[in-house]
Amino acid sequence: MNKGKVAVGSDHAGYEYKEKLKDVLTELGYACEDFGAASTASVDYPSIGRGAAEAVASGQCQWGLLICGTGVGMAMVANRVKGVRAALCYNEEVAGVTREHNDANVIVLGQRTMGLQEAEKTLRVFFATEFSGDERHIRRIAAIDE
């Protein structure tokens, strides 16, 4: 079952989780397009995050998964790209609500700020939760891009 393509990216501080969470996405039926990093060697997150975010904005990928040490830098970068709604998800509740309310299309995780098990659970909730489609949320999301 192919559910669409996920643009995946990390810096060195998110590399380990990126590699592990790609397997989870594959198990869930998503294809992954990897924008780096290719190892734990130090690399700057903006170019990798921007590449992945632009792939989501252009429709080349339907979703994104970005990971750095805290998730903050990747979220800052991804949200500069119009059409991207990147959510720094620090627990399962946030992952669910941001899908329901914000129709987030990029999940951002911090490898240094959450355990791998929590990161995996958070990722699973994000991809299992649908946007509510409520009029008020559609209006608010549209206002972000205006």
Which residues participate in catalysis according to the annotation? Answer: 68, 101
Nearer CB in complex with ligand RB5: 9/73: 73
Q: 35 is written with which tokens?
A: 């924008």
Nearest C-alpha neighbor of 84 from the set 128, 52, 46: 52
Q: Does 46 bind ligand RB5 (CB under 6 A)?
A: no
Among all chains, which residue has been given the structure tokens 């939760």? 129
Taking the complex as a whole, the smallest distance from the CB of residue 10 to ligand RB5 amounts, in Å, to: 8
Min CB(70)–ligand RB5 separation in Å: 4
Could you give the CA distance from residue 33 to residue 80 in angstroms, rounded to a whole number? 20
Is the Cβ of residue 72 or residue 97 nearer to ligand RB5 in the bound state? 72
Build a one-symbol-per-residue string for 57-96: x at contacts with ligand RB5 by CB under 6 A, - elsewhere: -----------xxx-xx-----------------------
What does the binding site for ligand RB5 look like in residue numbers (CB under 6 A)? 11, 13, 45, 68-70, 72-73
